[in-house]
C-alpha cells in the first residue's frame, strides 16, 4: 500500500462547491449525462434547471430522476430556454457539432462531451462559432481539471522533471463486439480512439505539446471502426509519447511523464481522481499524493463544471487549462491516427 507524503506541491484547485452557481441545461439525457448530473448534485452548487431530449418522455423521466424543473422534447426548445446559462452536450460524437452550433446560436455557453467533435474540421467550426458569438466553449476533458493534474502541471511549470522526453498513457477496455452500439457504429464515429483514446492523446498534449509527427498501428473491428491502436507521437524537441487504446483488452490505465530529472506516475485510473507518485532519476520515490476527496470515478466530473462556472464569472470565453486551439489539435492527431489505421468513414456525416 502506497502511503501519501507531503514532499509534493498541493493541488491549487478550490472546492467545487465554492464556484459561482450557473443554471445548466442538459442536452441528450443518456448514460454520461446521468453521471454528470449526479456529480453536480453531489459535489457542487451548480443548478441543473432543464433537460432536452429528442423524446419528451425520456426528458421527463430524466427530469423526474434528478429533480430538474423543466423538460423538453427537443433540443431546440432546451436551448431557447431563457433560464439556461450553459448547455452540457452529451450526445454521440457525431452530434456534438450540430448540437453545439445550435446552443451557441441561441447565445448559450457550452460544455461539450469528449471528443469535442468527430473531426478537427468540425471542432474548428465549433471554436469559430463560439468565438464569433462571444460565448464560453470547452470540451469536457474532465481529467484536466482534477486535483492530481494540477500537481503534474505545477511540476512541469517548475521544471522539476527536467526536460520532458517520454510520455506514456493507456486506456483500453474489453467490450464485446456489438454493431448496434455507438462504440462500434461507424455512422456515429465509433471506435476506441475517439471514445477513450482521446484521454491518452490529451494527456500527451498536456505533457509535451502538439506532436510534430504521428505514427499509428492497430486493427479495425468488423464494422470498420478502430478496435485497437498504438501511437507514437514525437514532439518538436524529440520528446515521444507512447500511447495505447482499444476496446478489446483491458489495459492498466496508467500515465507517466519522464524527464531528464525525474518522473511522475499518475495512478490508475489516470483519467479520474486517483493520485500521483514522483520519482528521481535513480527511481527513488520523492513523494506521493493520494486523492482522498471522496469523488471517485465519474464523480470527478464536478471539477470541470466548477472550473467552467469560475471562468464564465471571470468573463473568459475559453479554458486557460485547455484551449479550443489545443482541443482542435488533439482531434487532428486522432484524425491522422484513424487515417493511418484505414478508418473508412473518416469525416463523413452520419446517414
Ligand atoms: N466524460 C466521460 O467519462 C464520458 C463517458 C461516457 C461517454 N462520454 C461521451 O458522452 C457522449 C455520449 O455518450 P453516452 O455513453 O452517454 O451515450 P448514450 O448513453 O448513448 O447517450 C447519448 C444520448 O444522445 C442522444 N442522441 C442524440 N442523437 C443520437 C443518435 N443519433 N443516436 C443515439 N443517441 C442520440 C440520445 O438521447 P435522446 O435521444 O433522449 O435525446 C442518447 O441517450 C459521447 O460523445 C461519449 O464520448 C463521456
Flag whether 180 is in a domain. yes
Last residue of a domain, one of 105, 125, 142: 142
18 burial (CB, 10 Å; 0-12 / 13-18 / 19+) is exposed
Flag whether 65 is in a domain. yes
Indicate if 150 and 138 belong to the same structural domain: no
Flag whether 56 is in a domain. yes
Flag whether 314 is in a domain. no
Flag whether 308 is in a domain. no
The x, y and z cell numbers of residue 50, run together, are 432543464
Please report, for the domain that includes residue 161, its CATH number: 3.30.360.10
Q: Is the dihedral of CA 310, 312, 315, 317 positive or negative?
A: positive
Flag whether 112 is in a domain. yes
Residue identifier of the C-alpha nearest atom 40 of ligand 1 = 53
pLDDT of amino acid 347: 65
Length, in residues, of the chain? 351
Indicate if 199 and 327 belong to the same structural domain: yes
Q: Using 50, 70 and 90 to split pLDDT, how confident is the model at 348?
A: low
Residue from 323, 325, 319, 289 nearest 305 by CA? 319
Indicate if 208 and 63 belong to the same structural domain: no
Indicate if 45 and 176 belong to the same structural domain: no
Ligand 1, from 29, 30, 33: best to mutate by most atoms within 8 Å of Cβ? 30
Taking the CA of residue 350 as reference, the ligand 1 atom at the shortest distance is 31
Indicate if 268 and 201 belong to the same structural domain: yes
pLDDT tens per residue across span 168-208: 999 999 999 999 999 999 999 999 999 999 999 999 999 99
Measured in whole angstroms, the distance separating CA 122 from the mean position of its chain's CA atoms is 17
Flag whether 302 is in a domain. no
Q: Print the domain residue range for 207.
A: 143-297+323-341
Indicate if 36 and 174 belong to the same structural domain: no
Checking if the pLDDT of 349 tops 90, the result is no
Assess whether the C-beta atom of 202 lies below 6 angstroms from ligand 1: no
pLDDT of amino acid 210: 97
Indicate if 197 and 329 belong to the same structural domain: yes
Indicate if 134 and 153 belong to the same structural domain: no
Assess whether the C-beta atom of 108 lies below 6 angstroms from ligand 1: no
pLDDT tens per residue across span 281-291: 999 999 999 99
Indicate if 158 and 45 belong to the same structural domain: no
Assess whether the C-beta atom of 31 lies below 6 angstroms from ligand 1: yes
Residue 157's CB: how many other CB atoms inside 10 A? 9
Flag whether 303 is in a domain. no
Cα angle: 195, vertex 22, 313; to 5 degrees: 100
pTM tops 0.95, yes or no = yes
Taking the CA of residue 54 as reference, the ligand 1 atom at the shortest distance is 41
Give the 3-state DSSP-derived string for the chain, with helices as H, strands as E and coil as C. CCCCCCCCCCCCCCCHHHCCCCEEEEECCCHHHHHHHHHHHHHCCCEEEEEECCCHHHHHHHHHHHCCCEEECCHHHHHHCCCCCEEEECCCHHHHHHHHHHHHHCCCEEEECCCCCCCHHHHHHHHHHHHHHCCCEEECCHHHHCHHHHHHHHHHHHCCCCCEEEEEEEEECCCCCCCCCCCCCHHHCCCHHHHHHHHHHHHHHHHHCCCCEEEEEEEECCCCCEEEEEEEEECCCCCEEEEEEECCCCCCCCEEEEECCEEEEECCCCCCCCEEEEEECCCCEEEEEECCCCCCHHHHHHHHHHHHHHHHHCCCCCECCECHHHHHHHHHHHHHHHHHHCCCCCCCCCC
Indicate if 154 and 103 belong to the same structural domain: no
Average pLDDT, integer, range 34-51: 98
Indicate if 126 and 20 belong to the same structural domain: yes
Measured in whole angstroms, the distance separating CA 214 from the mean position of its chain's CA atoms is 20
pLDDT tens per residue across span 59-97: 999 999 999 999 999 999 999 999 999 999 999 999 999
Amino acid at each position: 500500500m502506497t502511503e501519501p507524503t507531503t514532499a509534493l506541491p498541493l493541488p491549487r484547485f478550490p472546492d467545487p462547491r465554492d464556484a459561482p452557481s450557473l443554471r445548466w441545461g442538459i442536452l441528450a439525457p443518456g448514460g454520461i449525462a446521468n453521471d454528470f448530473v449526479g456529480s453536480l448534485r453531489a459535489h457542487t452548487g451548480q443548478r441543473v434547471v432543464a433537460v432536452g431530449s429528442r423524446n419528451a418522455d425520456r426528458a421527463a423521466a430524466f427530469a423526474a430522476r434528478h429533480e430538474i424543473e423543466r423538460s423538453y422534447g427537443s433540443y431546440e426548445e432546451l436551448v431557447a430556454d431563457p433560464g439556461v446559462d450553459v448547455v452540457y452536450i452529451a450526445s454521440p460524437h457525431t452530434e456534438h457539432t450540430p448540437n453545439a452550433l445550435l446552443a451557441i446560436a441561441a447565445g448559450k455557453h457550452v460544455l461539450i462531451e469528449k471528443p469535442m467533435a468527430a473531426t478537427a474540421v468540425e471542432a474548428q467550426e465549433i471554436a469559430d462559432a463560439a468565438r464569433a458569438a462571444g460565448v464560453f466553449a470547452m470540451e469536457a476533458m474532465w481529467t484536466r481539471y482534477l486535483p492530481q493534474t494540477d500537481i503534474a502541471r505545477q511540476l512541469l511549470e517548475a521544471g522539476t522533471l527536467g526536460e520532458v522526453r517520454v510520455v506514456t498513457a493507456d486506456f483500453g477496455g474489453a467490450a464485446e463486439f456489438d454493431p448496434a452500439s455507438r462504440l462500434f457504429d461507424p455512422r456515429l464515429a465509433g471506435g476506441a480512439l475517439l471514445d477513450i483514446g482521446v484521454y491518452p492523446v490529451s494527456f500527451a498534449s498536456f505533457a509535451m505539446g502538439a506532436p510534430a509527427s504521428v505514427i499509428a498501428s492497430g486493427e479495425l473491428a468488423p464494422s470498420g471502426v478502430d478496435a485497437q491502436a498504438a501511437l507514437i507521437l514525437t514532439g518538436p524537441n524529440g520528446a515521444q509519447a507512447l500511447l495505447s487504446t482499444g476496446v478489446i483488452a483491458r489495459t492498466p490505465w496508467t500515465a507517466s511523464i519522464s524527464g531528464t530529472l525525474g518522473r511522475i506516475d499518475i495512478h490508475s485510473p489516470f483519467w479520474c481522481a486517483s493520485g500521483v507518485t514522483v520519482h528521481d532519476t535513480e527511481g527513488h520515490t520523492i513523494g506521493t499524493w493520494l486523492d482522498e476527496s471522496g469523488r471517485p470515478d465519474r464523480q470527478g466530473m464536478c471539477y470541470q463544471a466548477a472550473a467552467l462556472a469560475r471562468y464564465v464569472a471571470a468573463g473568459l470565453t475559453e479554458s486557460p487549462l485547455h484551449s479550443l486551439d489545443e482541443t482542435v489539435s488533439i482531434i487532428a492527431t486522432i484524425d491522422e491516427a484513424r487515417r493511418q489505421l484505414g478508418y473508412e468513414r473518416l469525416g463523413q456525416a452520419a446517414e
